[in-house]
Amino acid sequence: MIATDDAMQLIAPTLDLPAGYGAALRRGGSPDNLRPAVAAQQLAQIAGDPEGFCAGFDDPRGQGGPVTRPDGRRVARPPSIRRWIWDDGICGTIGLRWQTGTEALPPGCPGHVGYAVVPWRRGEGLATAALRAVLPPARAVGLRWIEVTTDPGNAPFRRVIVKAGGVFAAPDPLPRATGGRDAVHYRIALSAEGGGGGTGSAR
Ligand SMILES: CC(C)(COP(=O)(O)OP(=O)(O)OC[C@H]1O[C@@H](n2cnc3c(N)ncnc32)[C@H](O)[C@@H]1OP(=O)(O)O)[C@@H](O)C(=O)NCCC(=O)NCCS
């Protein structure tokens, strides 16, 4: 568990909780807004191999099998930590992925962090609290900053990044890893060296 000052907590899945997570998936909560099929895949895994499902949530050494990116490419799985966003029930998921020893994004990965809140719990500040809560673990794995990417029209997501300290970096300066969509990039500094985005601005 990652403790926070808020009622919100980030928790690692345990065997008594996948059922609650499965109920959230069936109700329409998806852990991946770019790949809706992930919800059905996870429900199948929870039904068939709940232990494996829980164990696979954390992979800080990147030892899992290859992952299929939104653009269809299969790439090596980067080190990652994933957590459930919890506040009186499962409210969503947040994941951090990185490459060891560098802030460069893992190949094919649009950002260091991805998150989603179930539709019926949005607007409560949960995504903002969750994003703030993954910053210390990101610092702990050696990152001096993180990059967060979304499509330009995702106003709630952009607002969450700014509230968590993100600074606008640029529109689409990186190879498009979001399946060909336009993208905007933000940086969140984790140390003085991280810089806070230099000439960037909050937008
Ligand atoms: C983006 C998302 C995670 C936000 O979750 P959330 O828990 O509702 O976020 P928060 O409550 O912390 O903050 C949302 C902010 O966006 C604002 N917002 C909501 N809708 C908005 C809109 N249409 N235009 C502008 N701002 C908007 C809210 O007012 C709030 O800002 P405020 O606190 O200054 O009022 C959630 O909408 C979601 O899961 N979306 C689908 C998945 C997704 O897009 N993930 C991002 C890609 S990885």
Which atom of ligand 1 approaches the CA of 129 most closely? Answer: 12
- Ligand 1 within 6 A of 167 CB? no
Cα separation, 160 vs 164, whole angstroms:
6
pLDDT for the residue numbered 5: 55
Q: Ligand 1, atom 20: nearest CA belongs to which residue?
A: 156
- Ligand 1 within 6 A of 160 CB? yes
pLDDT for the residue numbered 201: 45
Cα separation, 10 vs 91, whole angstroms:
10
Distance 153 CA to ligand 1 centre (A): 12
- Ligand 1 within 6 A of 53 CB? no
Torsion of CA 146, 147, 148, 150, to 10 degrees: -170
- Ligand 1 within 6 A of 186 CB? no
Cα separation, 137 vs 83, whole angstroms:
12
Reading the chain (203 residues) residue by residue, the pLDDT tens digits are: 565 656 999 998 888 877 788 888 888 888 776 677 888 999 999 999 999 888 888 899 988 888 877 678 788 889 999 999 999 988 999 999 999 999 999 887 889 999 999 999 999 999 999 999 999 999 999 999 999 998 889 999 999 999 999 998 877 655 555 556 788 999 999 987 777 543 334 45
Task: Let me know: does 21 contact 47? Beta carbons within 8 Å.
Answer: no
pLDDT for the residue numbered 200: 39
Distance 1 CA to ligand 1 centre (A): 24
- Ligand 1 within 6 A of 153 CB? no
Sequence-separated (6 or more) residues with CB below 8 Å from residue 91: 8, 84, 85, 117, 118, 121, 126
**Where exactly are the structural domains of the chain?**
9-202
Q: 9-202 adopts what CATH topology?
A: Aminopeptidase (3.40.630)
pTM value is 0.86
Distance 82 CA to ligand 1 centre (A): 20
Structure tokens at 103: 């802030």
Task: Let me know: does 184 contact 150? Beta carbons within 8 Å.
Answer: yes
Distance 47 CA to ligand 1 centre (A): 31
